[in-house]
Structures are given as structure tokens and as C-alpha cells.
Chain A
């Protein structure tokens, strides 16, 4: 979840009602803001669906509504600035929108808050600047109108933010830290926002020009937003301008080609009271529901059961009427909903495989074996790879020891002996675990299979000891399998057997090859077996359950 830092005093000063620290700590989690650390600097985790809460301004606005200090849909006045941006539709980031905020006081925590919100929106809604990227400028340093267009990487040069020398876009991508970090987002030409004087305001999504740097003294702000996802761009712009309005900024629109931004159009949703009541299991009067909706910032018109709501323009999380249901629950108070058991009868079943595995587990323990549980991600390196078939490789492994998914259980089991050399012998262990094997016919081109692996290690461990164990299992299970001969590079030649169910080999057992033991530094013989469990599971009777 996105983690944000805001000033506690700033938050309190934005809410026109005295809140104690305890009240705040109890309240914040009820509006989707989790408190990681409470102090002068609040560290908060906000659920990623609510980018409008990524700032002190946004959280304060939600608190004001929730506490009923202000009711219903927040209204915003937008004045036309008469300023225009012409876009020539750059190839990689074709869209741009913009707004101007006037009369700001960015002293104190306001500037820091704005810059943090910008960065957080770039990272989340903007998918790390790929779909949305925000530029902020001191409007007074620019000369409208503006042009947004593709420019050849070496055609112009400007002083990027935090720098002293002029650089071309090409040089910025090669040398400048942010340029290197985001160079992959501008593979061909470079989109630039320039003003009437030809000054470069912004090279989205990389960097702004130093010329228009926003400072505490900045009064009027120009916002440019570029990207590939128009909805997310508009949501970001709405969140920014409404947050700044909380600080007294006056919103002015900017014409981009033929359209004017921001629109701050409330979202209209039609919801059914009956549906909401059914989803929450409560019964409210129309007036009560209306009150709850208003406390989440909605404007409400009700005609009997049908409620038409207008949602604040900063909300980016309203996909479906069910999202309004959650808002009603938040206003109602999550902990005011009381549990009620449904009248819903059902018969429980464990998965037949799991029931059978539990019997196997009991059998193995009764024979003196200790159960182990091991990681399924393994390496595919000597000597243990001689025990596996074709490896299933990961695209993005973390290390060579965890670069494949195991295709058998023996490797994991032998590894346990390898890391327990300092522990007492005899060692008798088993594992019931899943492995993944290729199957071209399957939906996932693989099957996940349950295996049983057993291993014995001590001074005189030998083939017959493991065969005795297997025979013991076989007898208890009603003699499902027969022992046959086989060859296997992982075993001492002539001391490896196949476990056969009908005509199919379902397992193998024998004395581990001394070359493997020597490689692992094991100084005692090791006998092992592994067995594909699923074919042994008895078919369930009197039960419709599928597996």
C-alpha cells in the first residue's frame, strides 16, 4: 500500500474542528487510512484505490465530510484563464491536460505537501510516470500560449531542474539522473512543452525546466499533465486542483486544443437503496441513507428506492455502484455492523487427497520418520539435478538456488540430509509435498502433483531397509504396487527399484549414488524413495465432491 508522510499539525489545521490525537488515531483507519507511525510527522498507509487521500488536504477533506462539518458534494468554481495550449500530438505521450491555480500561499508545509502528492500520484495512478506524469510550474515565469510537441533530441537545450547548465534532451537522457531513470519512456522523439518565448517549461515525463521552478513564493501555479491514459490523467488533475483548493487556491481552466481542463465534472451513479441494504444487512430510512451518503461527499436525489448520486470529481475508485455501498458502510461505521449468522447449511469435506495424505503421514510417523517441509523453488545444479527431469525455469528468479520449480521431491529431501550433517544419526525423514511436472495437454502446461518422499541416512543404511519400509506401506495400503527393476543416474547401479502401479511407474527407490553423497559432503549412505501419491488415493464413495 502507498505510504505517505504528512505533518500532524498541518492536518489538524486543515480541519476546522479540534481533534485529539486519540480521536485521530481511531478515526483514520475508519476512512481507509492506516497509521504506521503517529507523531509530528504522520506516516500513513493509504489503500491504493483512494489516491484522493494521498495528501493532508485530501485526508482533511474526508474527515470534514465524515464528521459532518460540511455536507454533500464539495463544489468548485472554475474560472476560464483564457490561456491555450496547442498540442501537436507527440508520438509517445500524445495527451496533455492542464490547469492554473491562482492566489496560493505555499509557505509552511504547503509546498512540501504539494510536491509529495505530485510524486505519489506519478508513482501510483501514473504507474511510475508511464501513464500519467505531472509537471508543476511557477506560472509567472512563463509566457503563454504554450505548445506541446515532439522535438528532435538535440534540437533545443534548456537548464533542467536542479541543474546549472543547459542540456539537450538527448544529453538529459544520457547524463541526468532522472533522465537515465525514465529514458525508457521516451524511446524516439522527445515531447516538450514550450512557451511563447520558446523557453522549455517541461520535458515530460522526465524533468521540468529550472526556469519555472515552484518555490514557497510561488503564488500562481501552472499544472501540466501528460500521458497515455486519459482517465487517469483527469483523475490526477482533479485530485491536485481540489487539494490546492483546500489551501485557498482559485482554479482556472486552460484550453488544450479544443477542450478545456479541468472539468471537475461530478460522477453520476444510480444506486438502488434495496440493493445497498441487502449488501450491508441493515435497514435504513431514505433520510438516513441520504445522510450517510452526504457524509462521504455525495450529492443525493432520491426517488423512492432509486438514489441518484453525484460523486466528488476527485474520487478515482468508483467503478460500480457497489463502491458506493462501501462508502455507505464507511459512513455507517464498519464496527457498527453487527455479526449475524446466515442460515446456510452445508456438509464439509476435506479434499480426498488431503485425507489420504494424512493417513500416509500417520503411517510414516508410526514407522519412526520425522516429517519435513521444504521450499519448492530450487536450483538446477549438480549434483541434485541428476535426480530431476526437465527443469521448469523461472523468468525472474532471485538467485540460482531458487531458479526453478521442483519437478520431484527427492532433491528437496536429499538437501535436508546435506544441511543436517552435524545432527545425530540415524536420520529418518519424510515429506508429503507438491511438485510441478510438464504436461503439454494441461491448461497450465504443467500438473501439480503430490509426492511422498522418504529418506534414511546412517552408518549402515541400505537398500533392504528402504524396501522393508515400502513393503510395510504397501501391505497397509492393500498391496497396490509391485517392485520392478529400473536404471537411474541418481542411484548406485543395480540398487535402484521402480514402484509400479499396474503398468505405470509411480515411484523409485534405492541407494543414492555415492558421487552425489561425496559432492554433498555426506559421509553416511543414504537410501531414499519417492512416490506419486494421487493414483493411490481411494475413490470417494457416497460423495459427489469433485477434486
Chain B
């Protein structure tokens, strides 16, 4: 039974090869290819499968092919130079200078005659030894070889060393059945009915599948891996944040990347000469340079607040240039959008913005000139700091995963009181949010008389902590290898 399973699992090509070998005994892949009508590559491939299954083995034979070189052929015709030398010494020419005149390749001749012990040299005169005399009467192995006789190992070494022959090795592969293979072969004829891989629509329609034998597959065969589609971890993080904020009753708003200085700073009661508004901190546009006034009344009142506080009870900053308000910059804080919301007479009480901002900064593992922020505002008649604390506590726990939180007084031009939120995360205190109540200098000129609680989270660092990302550039510079491997965010 076990063998039958082996037979069933055979690929049709394997069956053909095994049958052929059974008949031929021992055969090269070329021979099998001829016999089975399979391409030689298929014979190699299917042969390997059967070999792994222990049904056949490869036998390799190495042949040496000896080719006589041009020099060798010449010596074969004209005789070896050392033999020539022996002949001349025999006939009476014994001094080296005389011999040199008559022997071509004199150095080679003398070298070999000496090495073989056929001559002795005394005072420049050569004398034949006993071996030398004997050699003259015989044909040496080298001479035999040069005339076509197969040389023995030692002779071949000499011939190769003298470059009289070249030797090439050729390996021939034979395939042969193992004992198991032979057993399988005997069961083959019965199994040589049609054996099918792919189930086809035709077979299904015609019902032919009932008569066909479907070859079982090796279920652990290596195949290419499908590359799955994937969300960017950071985008998933932002989406989860959005869902949490919506669940807590917040409505999302969106604002433009290119902002007027009015919304980005003036409306936030940031003095026009504030260092954080300079070209060292905020990107200014070259073209176009100036925006238009769409909220003339807000512009006028914000201007008055900056000048002298208007009716807010504030002393203001003492100066304001409405032209400066129209300068176009890249939004440097999502609070700009909060200001826009207030100017639009909001009907809801809770809003949030998740947005990208831009600030002049270097780019390295912990700094980026683009960054995401989340701004939240809550608008109501009698809201106070303790209400703000309740939201901040909820958010620090829900969003930043804080174990506990603490508050510190802080300063942002548009809130008072201002508060900084520290969260205790994984055993460390970390600044997670800036917050406060919007100043009357901000709300009143925009037409908002109620209290507005506000807070902002920087999201890049929170996300990096949550997603265990060490380099901020992974958020903005896609490395596909990293993205493919990044764990799924749930």
C-alpha cells in the first residue's frame, strides 16, 4: 500500500523516466529524453524529484581525453630531441658546442638526457651510459604515446609537464533505478492511465473528472508568497484616534495647509513680532504671497484687540499691521482651524482637527519639519478648568495610554489659564498636551462669547511610542521593506 501511494504521487514525467530506466537499465539524460520524448530539462527536473524520493540515483563517470599538442606532433614525426642527442653522441659528436650546432632544442634535449641518466658530462664532453645505449635500441613510452598509444599515468604526467599533450576531463551522468525505484517500476504499467494535475472547466462540464486520476500534490511545496495590501501604521493610528474622538461626541473639521497669518497667528493673539512667527520658525510663501480678506469684521476686531484690547478688558500688544495679516504661510498649528471654527458660529459644542502642520526644523530620527497635531475644543456657557481637566484626563488615558497624569501651569499666547499635561507612560513622565481656556482676546473678536476649552496633542511622538517606532522618518519616508514587515495595527 505504501508503495502505491508513492506511485500515485509521481508526476507523469517521473513515471515516464522510471519506465524508461527500467527498460534501459542505465542511461544518460539525453538517452532518456530520446526514449521518452520529454525535453532534456524536464528529464533533469523530474529526475531530481525522483532522486529525492529515493527512486533513482545518479552515477557520474569521469573520462580523460588526451590531445597531442603541435609540439608533440612534431616530435612524433621527427623524433624526440634527446633521442637525437643520443644518436649524435653515439656517432662521435660529443662536445656541447658541436652538439648545439646540430641539435634543435639542445637545452631541452640535454636536460632530459641528464635527468633520465642517459649521459654523463665531463669537461664539456658527453659519454653515453649503459641506459643511454639501451635507449637507442628501444622505443620509449613517450614516443609510443606521441604515436597514439594510450599512455600510462607516469608517462601522461611527463607529457603534460612537457606540454606535449593536453588533458580534458569530461563527466557523464547516468541515471539508474534504486531497489525502491525498480519496485515502483514493476507497478507502473497498471498505473499508466491518464494522470491529471489541473481540474479543468471542461472536465467539470463533461463529467470527465469522474474517470480521471488527480495527482495528489506535495502539500508543503514552496510557492511564491502573496504580498498583502496594508494600511500605513501611522494612518491607522490617526484613524483610531478619529474614531475615539467621534465616540466622545466630537465633530471633525478640516482646514487649509496654506494659511493667512491672520488665522495662523493674529486671531490666536500672537503678537506680530512674536519670534515664533518669524521666517526662522514658520514657512512663508514666495508665490503667492498675500491672501484675501474674507472676514473683514474679524480682521478689524482682532486688529483692535492687538492694538489696545478693544472691549475685552485687555491691554493688547500696542500695535497691529493689517497688511501683515494677509501674509501666506504654511499652517504651523492646527489651532488656526479652531479659530476658523469659532468665526463660523459653531452650532455643535465639541470639535476636533487632525491635521498636518509645518515648521522650520531639521530632519533626523527625532525631528521633522512636517508633523501632525490634534486640536480639540469644547464650547459652552459655564465651562471651567476642572471640566478641562476631566477631558484632559480622559484623553491622556484613552489616547496616550497614560497610567496617571499631572498638570503644570504653562503659557500659550491664546489660552489663560494655560496648562501643560504630563502623562506617566511606561514608567516615565512625558509631556503630552498643551491646554487651557481660550483668552477673551481670541474668542470675542471672532464673535464667540461662551467659554472655549482647548487642548492640542502632538501626534507623531505619541504614535511612535504607541507603535514602537524609533525613527520619525518612518512616518513620512516610506521604506517598503519596513512597511511590509511592520506589525498590523489593531
Taking Cβ atoms with an 8 Å cutoff, the residues of A that contact B are: 29-32, 34, 47-50, 127, 131, 229, 231, 278-282, 317, 319-323, 325-326, 329-330, 334-335, 337-342, 344-351, 353-354, 358, 361, 364-377, 392-398, 402, 405, 416, 419-420, 423-424, 426-429, 432, 434, 436, 438, 442-448, 544-547
Contacts of A377 in B (CB 8 A): 283, 358, 369-370
CA separation between A374 and B393, bound complex, in Å? 32
> Which listed residue (A348, A394, A445) contacts B247, Cβ 8 A?
A348
Known contacts A351-B253, A393-B285, A420-B479; 15 further A-B pairs (Cβ under 8 A): A320-B309, A320-B312, A339-B389, A342-B387, A344-B349, A348-B247, A361-B231, A370-B232, A394-B285, A395-B279, A395-B285, A428-B229, A436-B257, A445-B291, A544-B347
CA separation between A335 and B408, bound complex, in Å? 8
Instruction: Let me know if B386 and A280 touch, CB within 8 A.
Output: yes
Taking Cβ atoms with an 8 Å cutoff, the residues of B that contact A are: 226-232, 234-235, 239, 242-243, 245-260, 273, 275, 279, 283-294, 309, 312-316, 318, 328, 330, 344, 347-350, 356, 358, 360, 362, 369-370, 378, 380, 382-387, 389-390, 392-393, 406-411, 416-419, 437, 439-441, 451, 475-481, 483-484
- Give 3 closest A-B pairs by Cβ, nearest first: A281-B384, A281-B386, A47-B411
Contacts of B440 in A (CB 8 A): 320, 322
> Which listed residue (A127, A319, A340, A341) contacts B314, Cβ 8 A?
A319
Identify 12 residue pairs between A and B in the complex whose beta-carbon atoms are under 8 Å apart, listed by A's number.
Answer: A282-B386, A322-B437, A329-B417, A335-B406, A346-B349, A370-B484, A372-B478, A372-B483, A377-B358, A398-B362, A423-B479, A448-B256
Tell whether A444 pairs with B230 under 8 Å between CB atoms, given A319-B316, A374-B477, A396-B283.
no
Instruction: Let me know if A326 and B279 touch, CB within 8 A.
Output: no
Instruction: Let me know if A405 and B309 touch, CB within 8 A.
Output: no
> Which listed residue (A339, A348, A370, A405) contacts B251, Cβ 8 A?
A348
Instruction: Let me know if B409 and A330 touch, CB within 8 A.
Output: yes
Instruction: Let me know if B283 and A394 touch, CB within 8 A.
Output: yes
Instruction: Let me know if B476 and A279 touch, CB within 8 A.
Output: no
Instruction: Let me know if A368 and B228 touch, CB within 8 A.
Output: yes
> Which listed residue (B239, B380, B478) contacts A373, Cβ 8 A?
B478
Which residue of chain A has the shortest Cβ distance to B380 in the bound complex? Answer: A344
Instruction: Let me know if A320 and B441 touch, CB within 8 A.
Output: yes
Which residue of chain A has the shortest Cβ distance to B389 in the bound complex? Answer: A339
Residue from B254, B316, B440 with most neighbouring chain A CB atoms (10 Å): B254
CA separation between A229 and B409, bound complex, in Å? 28
Contacts of A349 in B (CB 8 A): 246, 251-252
Contacts of A547 in B (CB 8 A): 253-254
Q: What's the nearest-Cβ distance from chain B to residue A206, in Å?
A: 20
Which residue of chain B has the shortest Cβ distance to A124 in the bound complex? Answer: B275
Which residue of chain B has the shortest Cβ distance to A279 in the bound complex? Answer: B384
Contacts of B330 in A (CB 8 A): 394, 405
Which residue of chain B has the shortest Cβ distance to A396 in the bound complex? Answer: B279
Instruction: Let me know if B275 and A371 touch, CB within 8 A.
Output: no
Instruction: Let me know if A420 and B478 touch, CB within 8 A.
Output: yes
Instruction: Let me know if A320 and B387 touch, CB within 8 A.
Output: no
> Which listed residue (B245, B250, B350, B385) contacts A329, Cβ 8 A?
B385
Instruction: Let me know if A366 and B229 touch, CB within 8 A.
Output: yes
Q: What's the nearest-Cβ distance from chain A to residue B422, in Å?
A: 9
CA separation between A373 and B235, bound complex, in Å? 8
Contacts of A47 in B (CB 8 A): 409-411, 418
Contacts of A369 in B (CB 8 A): 229
Q: What's the nearest-Cβ distance from chain A to residue B365, in Å?
A: 15
Q: What's the nearest-Cβ distance from chain A to residue B191, in Å?
A: 39
Which residue of chain A has the shortest Cβ distance to B280 in the bound complex? Answer: A396
Q: What's the nearest-Cβ distance from chain A to residue B266, in Å?
A: 14
Tell whether A419 pairs with B477 under 8 Å between CB atoms, given A348-B245, A361-B235.
yes
Q: What's the nearest-Cβ distance from chain B to residue A341, in Å?
A: 5
Contacts of B389 in A (CB 8 A): 337-340
Instruction: Let me know if B227 and A426 touch, CB within 8 A.
Output: yes
Q: What's the nearest-Cβ distance from chain B to residue A502, in Å?
A: 24
Tell whether A32 pairs with B410 under 8 Å between CB atoms, given A365-B230, A370-B229, A443-B294.
yes
Q: What's the nearest-Cβ distance from chain B to residue A155, in Å?
A: 32
Contacts of A29 in B (CB 8 A): 408
CA separation between A375 and B246, bound complex, in Å? 27
> Which listed residue (B349, B369, B370, B382) contacts A278, Cβ 8 A?
B382
Instruction: Let me know if B387 and A348 touch, CB within 8 A.
Output: no
CA separation between A420 and B293, bound complex, in Å? 44
Q: What's the nearest-Cβ distance from chain A to residue B408, in Å?
A: 5
> Which listed residue (A281, A319, A346) contacts B250, Cβ 8 A?
A346
Instruction: Let me know if A398 and B229 touch, CB within 8 A.
Output: no
